[in-house]
Amino acid sequence: MKILILGGTVFLGRALVETALSHGHQVTLFNRGHSNPNLFPQVEKLVGDRDGGLQVLAGRRWDAVLDTSGFVPRIVRQSAQALSTVVDHYTYISSLSVYADTSQRGIAEDAPLATIPDPSVEEITGDTYGALKALCEQVVPETLPGRSLILRPGLIVGPHDRSDRFTYWPHRVAQGGQVLAPGSPGRLLQFIDVRDLAEWNIRLVEAGKTGIYNANGPKQPMPMGELLEVCRTVSGSAADFTWVDEKFLLDQGVEPWIGLPLWIPESDPEAAGFFAFDISKALLDGLAFRPLTETVRDTLAWDVSRPPDHDWRAGLASERESELLNLWQQQVSS
C-alpha cells in the first residue's frame, strides 16, 4: 500500500512509519520538517504546513492517510477535504479525552462526547482539548463517508515518549532507594505501548476497517503496584515503595498526572472511568499487547540514551520527593 502520514517523526507517527515499513508499505511523510528532519532517510518527505499549505499534496494519490497531528477542526477539515478524492481510507488519531463524562467505568464508543460553547475556539487547553478532538472526529467521516477510521487511544507509552508521563516510573524505580508511590497499590491503570497501537492501526488499514474504536490496554486494567513491581524487576533495582495518602499529596500541592504521573486522585469525580474504558470492540478486532516487561525494558533503554541533563516534563524532582517522604513519615509517626 501507499500510505501518507501527516506527521511521522515524533512518537506515534514515528512508530507508525516503522510499522508500515516493516509491513512492506510505501510511506510518504507530510510535515513542517521541524522535528527529527533526518529521521527515515529512505522515506519520501513532503514539507508543508497543513494549515493552508497543502498544495504540495496536489496531483498525488495514496491508498491511505494516517492523521496523527490534527487538533483543531478547521485544520483537520482542510486536510480531509484536500485528500478526500485522492485517498481511499483516512485514519484519524483521536483521544479518550473526547468523552463528556468519565465518572463511570466501562465507557464504550457510543458514550456522549464533550462539547464546547464556542466551536471556533482554537486554543488547546486542558478544558478544550477533548471537545476539539471530538469536533475533529466529526469532520473526517463527514468529508470521507464510509472511509474513515477513528482511534481513541488513552495514555500512549514506550520509547521516544517525550511527555515522561510513563517514563518517570521506570526511570525512578531504576534509581533505587525509597520511592514515593501515590495512593493505593491496587489502584487500576490503563495505557498502551505505542508500538502495539501502531501495529494494530496498520493492520486495520490493511483490512479496510472503518468506524470508531477505544484503543487502550492492557486487556484488563493493571494495578499500580504491579507496574512498579515490574519496573523493579526489569531494572534490577533495590527500590522500596512508600505508598502515600492521596489527601496528603493534594494538601502538599502535588499536581496529579504531571506532578506524579499516572495518578488521578480517587476523590476526583472523573477518576472512576479514566483508567477503565471498555476496549472490547478493539479486542474483537485484533488489538493485542506485548508484555509489560518489554515496554519497561525498552523505555529504560531509550531513557538512558537521552542527555543526562534533559528537562523532565513530568514527575517529582528528587529533592521534592525526599521532602514529601520526610513530611509523610513525620505525619504517620506522630
Q: State the CATH number of the domain containing residue 177.
A: 3.90.25
Residue 91 in domain: yes
The residues facing 91 across adjacent strands are 66, 149
Residue 202 in domain: no
Residue 42 in domain: yes
pLDDT of residue 53: 95
- The more confidently predicted of residues 267 and 152 is 152
- Please tell me the distance from the alpha carbon of residue 265 to that of residue 224, in angstroms, as a whole number: 13
- Please tell me the distance from the alpha carbon of residue 41 to that of residue 44, in angstroms, as a whole number: 8
What pLDDT digit, counting tens, does each position of 292-302 carry? 999 999 999 99
pLDDT of residue 272: 87
What pLDDT digit, counting tens, does each position of 228-272 carry? 999 999 999 999 999 999 999 999 999 999 999 999 999 998 888
Alpha helices in 85-193 (DSSP H): 129-143, 168-175
User: 253: domain range?
Assistant: 168-190+222-270+292-333
Assess contact for 216 and 154: CB atoms under 8 A: yes
Query: Which of the four pLDDT bands, split at 50, 70 and 90, describes residue 91?
Result: very high
pLDDT of residue 264: 95
Residues 146, 172 within the same domain: no
Alpha helices in 39-92 (DSSP H): 73-83
Q: How far separated are the first and last CA of the chain, in Å rounded?
A: 66
For 7-21, what is the mean pLDDT?
97
pLDDT of residue 270: 86
Residues 184, 110 within the same domain: no
The identity of residue 185, as a single letter, is P
Q: pTM (2 decimals)?
A: 0.97
Number of domains in the chain: 2
- Please tell me the distance from the alpha carbon of residue 233 to that of residue 300, in angstroms, as a whole number: 12
Residue 307: pLDDT over 90: yes
C-alpha angle 176/157/287, rounded to 5°? 130
Residues 95, 233 within the same domain: no
Residue 131 in domain: yes
Assess contact for 131 and 300: CB atoms under 8 A: no
Residue 328: pLDDT over 90: yes
- Please tell me the distance from the alpha carbon of residue 19 to that of residue 266, in angstroms, as a whole number: 37
Residues 118, 68 within the same domain: yes
The identity of residue 290, as a single letter, is R
Residue 334: pLDDT over 90: no
Residues 175, 118 within the same domain: no
- Please tell me the distance from the alpha carbon of residue 93 to that of residue 62, in angstroms, as a whole number: 18
pLDDT of residue 271: 85
The residues facing 288 across adjacent strands are none
Grid coordinates of 21: 515499513
Residues 17, 143 within the same domain: yes
Alpha helices in the chain (DSSP H): 12-22, 73-83, 129-143, 168-175, 194-206, 224-235, 246-251, 271-274, 280-284, 292-303, 318-333
Query: Which of the four pLDDT bands, split at 50, 70 and 90, describes residue 52?
Result: very high
Eight-state DSSP code of residue 112: P
What pLDDT digit, counting tens, does each position of 196-222 carry? 999 999 999 999 999 999 999 999 999
Residue 283 in domain: no
pLDDT of residue 247: 97
- Please tell me the distance from the alpha carbon of residue 116 to that of residue 27, in angstroms, as a whole number: 36
The residues facing 178 across adjacent strands are 240
Measured from the Cβ of residue 3, the count of other Cβ atoms closer than 10 Å reads 26
CA nearest to 205, candidates 73, 93, 56: 93
- Please tell me the distance from the alpha carbon of residue 280 to that of residue 214, in angstroms, as a whole number: 8
Assess contact for 43 and 60: CB atoms under 8 A: no
Alpha helices in 84-147 (DSSP H): 129-143
Residue 287 in domain: no
Using the CB atoms, write b or e for 20-47: b if 16+ within 10 Å.
bbeeebebbbbbeeeeeeebbeebebee
